[in-house]
Amino acid sequence: MKIKIYHIIKILKFGWKNIYLHKLRSSLTILGIVFGVASVIAMLSIGEGASYEAREKIKQLGSNNIIIRSFNPPSPVKTSQTTSFIGIYGLKFEDFQQIKTIPSIEEIVPTWECREDIWSEKGKTTGRIVATYPSFLNVMNLEIEEGRFFTEIELKNSKNVAVIGYSIKKSLFPLGKVVGKRIKIRNYYFKVIGVVKEKAVSLTGTTFESEDINFDVYIPFTTGRIYFGRYEISNKRGPFWRWERNFVEYHRFIVKVSDTSKILTVASYIEKILSRNHRNKDYEILIPLQLLQQAEHTKRIFNIVLGSIAAISLIVGGIGIMNIMLATVTERTREIGIRRAVGAKRRDIINQFVAESVILSSIGGFIGILLGIVIPHIVSKFSGMTTIITFWSIFLSFTISVAVGITFGIYPAKKAANLDPIEALRYE
């Protein structure tokens, strides 16, 4: 039998007529599909958005990097009710020198950090001072919005220069030029020589690197030593107010590995060196690449779970359609007999009823897509979560809804086609 496009259009037109005749019933029938498709698209877009945030965050850490961080471990001495405490923890010069010798390390950039109030003529904000080396810029993939990063010469001469994060600029110098202006940290003045471009920040608080790097101020390492020394001072409000002073040589080493495939090997060498040098575990090693892989893995599991839920809801929707189609077949038994009497073949009857159920499920799919696009927007608006609607998820869910229409339409259609024409004509 020839199947002409024109013929298909005619079948669809006939189908539409019957569906239109029962508007209320048809709309109730497609609700299952509508919600099924909408939830597929919405859930996938939320999942995609979350994993995008995670990936971006990890990329900021540099996928070829290993980050070693000093970490102040809770010690028994501190938990006692002392009101003041002097301690020592973290990465040491010895570590730096040993790690530097590991092969395949392209660069190792140390930092020393502290939280400080930062003043301009107009106001004040709080940020993180990061004393580091010029190569920090490249290793961390920072981009300069205006001005420049500090140089080796400025480092050597311990210049009072600072490169500020985007948010610092926004709160201290909302309008006008920044480069050349002065900021004050503790009682020292620094000249702003550059501003770093805004970086995406995850609001969903991924566990790694909870700092908002848009609030960073970068200064030459040597300058930091001169003004801030090696002591980290903090006041803690626990059950007892406590003044704490810790000697910290370095807060972070950012290690850039020349080849992605060497990252794990290098990390294990680092772990070996550090565990030898430190009796307490007062450091932690972060491998962004590994986090990235974990994030991908989590996303895959997430998608499978969401996919199954969505598949179930689409099947339920399909059963709804089948139910109605079965009722329709019974209701229209006589019509089927008439059509057979005037020359319709079994095939024609099957086509007609499958067409009707496909039309139902496609309309459901289409409305579901619209709803599935709207929901993530609303979610984004109210929760601040990133949502990403992929073409792929739309395509997939629409295809599935059409397939559901065909699958669940075939049984009722076959039932209709297999009716004996005589019986069908006698049906009251």
Interaction between residue 28 and ligand ADP (CB under 6 A): no
Give the span between the Cα atoms of 319 and 31, in whole angstroms: 12
Interaction between residue 341 and another protein (CB under 8 A): yes
User: How many residues at the interface with ligand ADP, by CB under 6 A?
Assistant: 2
Interaction between residue 341 and ligand ADP (CB under 6 A): no
- Contacts (CB under 8 A) with another protein, residues 19-38: 21
Interaction between residue 239 and another protein (CB under 8 A): no
Stretch that binds another protein, among 67-75, 264-272, 277-285, 330-338 (CB under 8 A): 330-338
Partner from another protein, ligand ADP, none contacting 338, C-beta within 5 to 8 A by type: another protein
Quick one: which of 307, 402, 425, 427 contacts another protein (CB under 8 A)?
425
The one-character DSSP state at 71 is -
How far separated are the first and last CA of the chain, in Å rounded? 33
Task: Mention every residue, 6+ apart, whose C-beta is less than 8 A from residue 375.
Answer: 38, 41, 42
Interaction between residue 5 and another protein (CB under 8 A): no
Partner from ligand ADP, another protein, none contacting 311, C-beta within 5 to 8 A by type: none
What is the residue-wise DSSP string for 91-135? B-HHHHHHHHTSTTEEEEEEEEEEEEEEE-SS-EEEEEEEEE-TT
Stretch that binds another protein, among 47-55, 195-203, 299-307, 345-353 (CB under 8 A): 345-353
Give the span between the Cα atoms of 353 and 326, in whole angstroms: 10
Give the span between the Cα atoms of 218 and 215, in whole angstroms: 10
Interaction between residue 264 and ligand ADP (CB under 6 A): no
Interaction between residue 422 and ligand ADP (CB under 6 A): yes
Q: In the sheet that 241-247 helps form, which strands lie side by side, from edge to edge?
A: 84-88, 241-247, 231-237
Q: Of the two residues 26 and 214, which places its CB atom closer to another protein in the complex?
A: 26
**Least distance between ligand ADP and beta carbon 341 (Å):** 15
Q: Hey, is 273 helix, strand or coil?
A: helix
Give the span between the Cα atoms of 411 and 414, in whole angstroms: 5
Binding-site ranges for another protein (CB under 8 A) = 2, 4, 6-7, 10, 17-18, 21, 334-335, 337-348, 421-422, 425
Binding-site ranges for ligand ADP (CB under 6 A) = 422-423
